[in-house]
Amino acid sequence: MTNELMSFWSEWARPTAGLPIVLWSLLIAVAAAAGHLVQRYIGMPKVVGYSIVGTIVGFAGFEGALWPLQGIGLFLLELGVAIVLFEAGGRLPLRWFRYNPMVLLQSILEASLTYFGVFWALHWLGLPDPVANPIALMAIVASPAVLSRVLMDTRASGPVTDRAMTLATLNTFYALALGYAQAGLIERAPQGLVQKLYPVGVVLGLSFVVGAVMALALRSALRFMSATSENTSILLLAIIAAGAALTAHIGGSAPLAALIGGVLLKQLNPKPWAWPRQLGTAASLLTMLMFVLVSIVAAQADWSLPVASVVLTVISVRFAAKIAGVAIANPGSGASWKQALWVGCAMSPLSSIALLIASGFVTASPLLGAMITQVALPAILLMEVLGAVLATIAIHSAGESSQPWTPEAFMTAEETQR
């Protein structure tokens, strides 16, 4: 009887998708609900809920996102990052640097202190330079993806908000250009300065060409299409997806090309953009998937006590270096010392961009990549969650959130209506 039922079932069933699609759909649904509950009952940004769900699933042994990422999983992560960076590039105030060059100095000093601080700390702990260098490059990044979600959920605006997002975008630019270039040199013998800078120029050049094509295509479309049209949103997502795939294929950096494309489009089309409405629900879904994917992958790290001490050292040195870099160059930048402190705290998050850089090193050298990810993955997982919390505390402490810190579930009727 059982055999007959199974035979009937196999002839009758006509699946259009496999079981992994079902599992991912349910996972995204649970993550969406968790994000809502975290914001409603704890007052934290939704990204914390997304990351917690991904972490739990990753620790449970979910096999839908194995490290190192490749194929469609890697492309979806690159696409999610590209969308965030295209938006961040479109908001980068280049004219601000002309009138306030100290902000650019803050960015360079903060990134330099973070890199050398983490590198020397890892060297002191006994890690070889080919392992310490990639981890220090990843530490430079202050995730614009996490920070933008925090700012969206807290409805933040003000000098601390603007400066933190600007500095996060700039240090992402540095880390992507250096990280993708250094990945190709990880197993080569020590070389001169010119040989080290040549790959950086290649990555920047290829990414710039693709970014410029993306910006010109969108600028041409905006001559006859409305910036708030649904079709414009679809066109934008399609061009970013095509640019991400093309850049990765020719050897550039897909996220870097998107960032450059956003910056160039802002110069070609300086009119204000309604980015959240324009990108729509599809971009929000990709962003949520990105956070869940990062958490699942990072949770697969080899957690042990010796590794934990190294990870905590990296996190502590990175946190102190970012605050110190912003504070040292703060005089003449137009911000108070208190605001500089909160800007440094707001730049704590690590997430998908650091994971992409780590993936590049693992692909280039599986042996050294395994040593790098032993430290990088736990640090990314901790700072995706803890960084979002620290950024939320910084925004509220700076008084730039229009959203009350009291969880929505515990607000009075008057506060909810307001």
Q: How far is CA 109 from CA 16, 60, 170, 250, in A?
A: 53, 41, 12, 32
pLDDT band at 92 (very low <50, low <70, confident <90, very high): confident
What's the rounded Cα separation, in Å, for the pair 286 and 352?
Answer: 12
The pLDDT value given to residue 93: 79
What is the dihedral sign for C-alpha 123, 384, 93, 394?
negative
Q: Are 239 and 86 in contact (CB under 8 A)?
A: no
Q: Mind listing the pLDDT tens digit for each residue in 117-139?
A: 999 999 999 999 889 999 999 99
pLDDT band at 223 (very low <50, low <70, confident <90, very high): confident
Is 8 domain-assigned?
A: no
Q: Mind listing the pLDDT tens digit for each residue in 258-307?
A: 999 999 988 887 665 555 455 666 677 888 888 998 898 888 877 788 88
Q: Are 262 and 308 in contact (CB under 8 A)?
A: no
The pLDDT value given to residue 111: 94
Is 300 domain-assigned?
A: yes
The pLDDT value given to residue 284: 79
Q: What is the maximal distance between C-alpha atoms in the chain? A: 83
Question: C-alpha dihedral over 137, 140, 146, 147, to 10 degrees?
Answer: -160
What's the rounded Cα separation, in Å, for the pair 384 and 376?
Answer: 12
Is 9 domain-assigned?
A: no
What's the rounded Cα separation, in Å, for the pair 262 and 43?
Answer: 32
Domain that holds residue 317: 18-417
The pLDDT value given to residue 94: 81
Is 204 domain-assigned?
A: yes
Q: How far is CA 2 from CA 7, 301, 377, in A?
A: 9, 43, 47
Identify the residue whose tokens are 């049209």.
229
Checking if the pLDDT of 20 tops 80, the result is no
Interacting residues of 211 by C-beta distance below 8 A, sequence separation 6+: 243, 256, 257, 258, 259, 260, 261, 262, 263, 264
CATH of the domain at 271: 1.20.1530.20
The pLDDT value given to residue 4: 58
The pLDDT value given to residue 402: 81
Q: How many domains is the chain built from?
A: 1
Checking if the pLDDT of 193 tops 70, the result is no
The pLDDT value given to residue 191: 62
Interacting residues of 236 by C-beta distance below 8 A, sequence separation 6+: 218, 278, 279
Q: Distance between the two ends of the chain, CA-based, in angstroms? A: 64
pLDDT band at 5 (very low <50, low <70, confident <90, very high): very low
The pLDDT value given to residue 25: 85
Q: Mind listing the pLDDT tens digit for each residue in 21-32?
A: 788 888 999 999
The pLDDT value given to residue 220: 87
The pLDDT value given to residue 113: 95
Q: Mind listing the pLDDT tens digit for each residue in 302-346?
A: 778 888 899 999 999 999 999 999 999 888 888 888 989 999 999
pLDDT band at 256 (very low <50, low <70, confident <90, very high): very high
For residue 93, say if its preceding peptide bond is cis, omega within 30 degrees of 0.
no
Checking if the pLDDT of 114 tops 50, the result is yes
Is 10 domain-assigned?
A: no
Is 12 domain-assigned?
A: no
Q: Phi and psi dihedrals of 401, rounded to 5?
A: -95, 130
- Of 138 and 192, the structure prediction assigns the larger pLDDT to 138
Max avg pLDDT among 77-81, 184-188, 237-241, 316-320? 316-320
The pLDDT value given to residue 312: 94
Q: Are 295 and 58 in contact (CB under 8 A)?
A: yes
Global confidence as pTM: 0.89
Give 401's DSSP letter.
Answer: B
User: Whole-number mean pLDDT of the chain?
Assistant: 84
Q: Mind listing the pLDDT tens digit for each residue in 338-395?
A: 989 999 999 999 888 999 999 888 888 888 888 899 999 999 999 999 999 999 999 9
Candidate from 2-11, 65-74, 139-148, 351-360 with smallest mean pLDDT: 2-11
pLDDT band at 9 (very low <50, low <70, confident <90, very high): very low
